[in-house]
Every structure is written in C-alpha cells, then in structure tokens.
Amino acid sequence: MARAQGARAQMALAFETTYGTPPESGYTNMPFASTTLGAEQPLQTSELLGYGRDPLDPILDAVPADGSVTVPIDARAFGTWLKATFGAPTTTGTDLYTHVFQSGSWSLPSFSVETGLPEVPSYAMYSGCMVDSLSWQMARCGLLTAPLELRP
C-alpha cells in the first residue's frame, strides 16, 4: 500500500459558473505550501419537547467546507488567487499587460478546489469556495507566501 507524501500532493482550481456546482473541465494546477481544507458534518442536538424524557436522536447539520491555503506569491499563479479575492481584473495593454484588481465588488466568483494525494489515491473536491481573507507579510529574506482563508 502506498503512503501519501506531501511532495506529491496536488491542488487544482476552477471557477464556477453556478455557485456550488463544480465545473467538469477548466481546472488549473495550483502551487501551494500547505492546506487545511476540510469538511465535516456536525450533529445538532434536538431541542424539541413533548416526546418524553428521552432525548431525540441528533440530526445532521450542514456540511461546511472551509480552511486555509498558503500559496506562494509568484508571477504565474497568484493572479488566480487575486481574481478569486477581488473578482476579474481590468486588463490593458497589448505586449505589456497591466492587470488592475479592485476591492469593493458586490459579487465575487466562487470556485471549486480539488486536493489530491495520487499514491493513496485520495482526492477531495470542495465546491462553492470563496476567499474570506488574504494577507501576506514581506521580509528581507525568506519565502514570500500568502495565507488565504476559504469559506463556502
């Protein structure tokens, strides 16, 4: 049986045309440093009265898929995360392109993320994701990465 290794981990991202519906194609492989994306379905204790002394069985709650992704700030893939955070940029130029991202949009794009460990094999799809926050710190030395918090 194969063992999962972080060096072989994969992440693919595609923007959705309908919120919460994973696209069938158009996924882009994305570099990432770490991720805590996950989903769990918690149980809700029933509050209903009138069924005797024994409590009712708990009911299944909604399945939130959230977590964080730490990505490198690079020239190729970081624009995808900026689009997910601010929406599509205004692009000008013919040979030398200039992309301007602006905050304050009322509607932001949702996307699907698939993470995978091919040796296991184990793949997880998270749809309806949106960026909740994006930050980074700059220093004179070290790797330049940005943690993103994702929410459904």
At 4 the pLDDT is 59
Q: Does domain 6-151 have CATH number 3.30.530?
A: no
Question: Can you name the residues that pair with 60 across neighbouring β-strands?
Answer: 43
pTM over 0.75? The answer is: yes
At 146 the pLDDT is 96
Contact 113, 131 (CB under 8 A): no
Q: Find the distance separating the first CA and the last CA of the chain, reported in whole Å.
A: 34
CA distance 31 to 48: 48
- Structure-block tokens of residue 116: 């995978």
At 3 the pLDDT is 55
Mean pLDDT by 10 residues, the chain (152 residues): 70 95 96 88 80 81 84 94 95 92 89 90 90 91 93 82
At 1 the pLDDT is 47
Domain boundaries, the chain: 6-151
